[in-house]
Structure 1
C-alpha cells in the first residue's frame, strides 16, 4: 500500500500530520469566507476546526479505505495552510493517480508557500508513490490556483462548463495534470 512519509520538509516548510494545538492556526484561515470560496464547505466554526484537526491526524498511510491525506503546512511553528493528496482518478479511488489540493492563510499569500508545498506533493507522488498522473481540479475563477498549477508545469486538460453545483451556483471545473514521463525533478525543488 502507498505510504507518505511525514513530515515532508522543504526549504521553508514542514508538511506534517495535524496535531492537538493546531486548532487556532487552522481556524484563522478556515473561518475566512474568501479563503474557503473555492473549496468544499462553509467557513468553519471553532468546533468544526477542532473536529477537522482531530479527524485528520494521521500517520500518512493511504489505501482504498483511506484514499485521502490532508497535511498541515507549518511555517516557523505556525500552521499557515493545509494540502491534500488523494488517490483518485476521474472515476474514483485509483492507486495510480493522485489529486492534489491546497488552502492557505491569506496573510501568507504571494510568498510562494503554496507553490513550495504543492511541489513537494508532486515530488512525493512521483518519486515515493510511483503514480502515473498528478492532477488538480480548479474553478477557473480561482486565478491564484490556476497560476499555481501552471507553475507546477501542469497542463490544462480541459474545462467542464457548469459541471458542478457548488455553493449555490453552477460552476465550471478546469482540470490540470502532469504525467510521470513529463515530470522533471529539477522543476520541482
Structure 2
C-alpha cells in the first residue's frame, strides 16, 4: 500500500483489541514500561511515570504512518476488561517491507496474547498494507521472542555478534517472513 498507512482501527481478535493509544493508557503502560524484566531486551530503559507519559504522548499519533522510518504503534487491549497489556509495532522500512516488534506486560505473557497480537499485525501487514516482507530484530538472549517469531512462521537469518546495546555488547538475531510464506 502506498503511504500513508492508515489502517482501519480498532482491529478485533477473539480476546484483544488492537487500537491507537490514548492518554488514558498511562497507568496500564506504566505497569510494563517500568518493569525491568519486560524492558530487558527492549530499546528503552525502565521508565518512570513522567518518562512513560512522555513516551505515550509520542505514541498517540502513531496509528498512522506517513513516511519510511516511522512506526505504526498499536495498543494491545484485553477486550474483556479494557486493560492495555502491551503494544505491537510495525516499522515502515519501505512501501513493501516492514519490521515487527512487540512488548507485553509480564503478567500476561505465556498465555498466547503476544502471538494473537503479532499474528494480527502480520495479517494487517500482508493484507490491508500490502507489504511483501516483514522482518524482526532481537537480542539473541530473548528466547521467548525468538520462539514467538518462529511460531509466526518467520525464518531465522543472520546472527550479528557484539552489537552495542544498553551499555554492553549483545548478539542480535534477524528474522524474516515473505507474503508467500504467511499463512
TM-score, length of structure 2 as denominator length = 0.93
Residues 102 and 114 in structure 1, CA contact (< 8 A), matched pair in contact too: yes
CA RMSD, Structure 1 to Structure 2 (Å): 1.3
Instruction: State the 1:14 CA deviation.
Output: 0.5
Aligned-partner SS, 1:34: helix
Instruction: List 4+ stretches of structure 1 deviating above 3 A.
Output: none
Q: Give the aligned partner of residue 25 of structure 2.
A: 22
Aligned-partner SS, 2:174: strand
Q: Give the aligned partner of residue 187 of structure 1.
A: none
Instruction: State the 1:66 CA deviation.
Output: 6.5
CA distance in 1, matches of 2:133, 2:62: 23
Residues 73 and 90 in structure 2, CA contact (< 8 A), matched pair in contact too: yes
CA distance in 1, matches of 2:50, 2:139: 28
Aligned-partner SS, 1:73: strand
2:77 to 59, 67, 74: 74
2:7 to 4, 12, 28: 4
Instruction: State the 1:77 CA deviation.
Output: 0.6
CA distance in 2, matches of 1:87, 1:149: 18
Residues 17 and 59 in structure 1, CA contact (< 8 A), matched pair in contact too: yes
Runs of 5+ consecutive residues of structure 2 not aligned to the other structure: none
1:168 to 1:135, Cα distance in 2 relative to 1, 3 A: same
Instruction: State the 1:33 CA deviation.
Output: 0.9
Q: Give the aligned partner of residue 145 of structure 1.
A: 145
Q: How does 1:74-93 map to 2 (within 5 A)?
A: 74-75=77-78, 76-88=81-93
Q: Give the aligned partner of residue 134 of structure 2.
A: 134
CA distance in 1, matches of 2:134, 2:70: 14
TM-score, length of structure 1 as denominator length = 0.90
Q: How many corresponding residue pairs? A: 178
